């Protein structure tokens, strides 16, 4: 049986403390607190792998959004912190699909549901978000689907 994400993060926290990697430690602790929060919400001590992936994806998205805002405000110091945390979070994310791989999957979905125009975007997005959940960002799916349906 493989280690849960929580156990893996605990192990990594200990390593980071010993190595005095304060940036990595901060990122790992933020992941751990997100896991603990999810467990408390669900009153469930063992989260499913899907739920663990959702937590990581949400954390990564928050970092990306913050990076974008900080860069717009020329706060590269703050953006750098978020970039460091994002790198750590990405180590634990399920392998993400490339834009080309997403395009292939979305094309299959469009063919399967017979979508023909941007009016069908909602149906395509619903199916794509379900089948590609945890494998890519919703923004990527959305831009690929819009491009293919235009």
Dihedral class, residue 43 (left if φ above 0, else alpha if ψ from -120 to 50, else beta) = left
The number of domains in the chain is 2
Percent of the chain with pLDDT over 90: 55
Residues 58, 81 within the same domain: yes
Give the max Cα distance, the chain: 56
pLDDT of 1 above 60: no
**Considering 92, 107, 133, which residue would you say is the last residue of a domain?**
92
DSSP label at residue 142: H
User: Which residue range(s) make up the domain with 117?
Assistant: 99-149
DSSP label at residue 134: T
Percent of the chain with pLDDT over 70: 97
**Considering 92, 111, 129, which residue would you say is the last residue of a domain?**
92
pLDDT value for 44 = 63
* Range with top average pLDDT, 71-80, 88-97, 136-145: 71-80
Residue 35: how many CB atoms within 10 A of its CB? 21
Structure-model confidence comparison of residues 150 and 94, the more confident one: 150
Over the stretch 39-80, which tens digit does the pLDDT of each residue have? Answer: 888 776 677 887 888 889 889 989 999 999 999 999 999 999
Residues 11, 70 within the same domain: yes
SS3 content of the chain, % helix, strand, coil (to 5): 80, 0, 20
What is the average pLDDT value for the chain, to the nearest integer? 89
Rounded to two decimals, what is the model's pTM? 0.72
């Amino acid at each position: 049986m493989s280690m849960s994400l929580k156990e893996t993060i605990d192990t990594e926290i200990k390593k980071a403390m010993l190595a005095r990697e304060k940036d990595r430690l901060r990122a790992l602790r933020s992941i751990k607190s997100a896991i603990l929060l999810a467990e408390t919400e669900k009153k469930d001590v063992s989260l499913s792998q899907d739920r663990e992936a959702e937590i990581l994806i949400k954390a990564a998205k928050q970092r990306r959004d913050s990076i974008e805002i900080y860069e717009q405000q020329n706060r590269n110091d703050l953006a750098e912190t978020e970039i460091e945390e994002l790198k750590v979070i990405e180590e634990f994310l399920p392998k993400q699909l490339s834009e080309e791989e997403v395009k292939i999957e979305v094309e299959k979905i469009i063919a399967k549901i017979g979508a023909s125009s941007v009016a069908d975007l909602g149906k395509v997005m619903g199916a794509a978000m379900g089948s590609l959940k945890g494998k890519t960002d919703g923004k990527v799916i959305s831009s690929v689907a819009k491009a293919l349906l235009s």
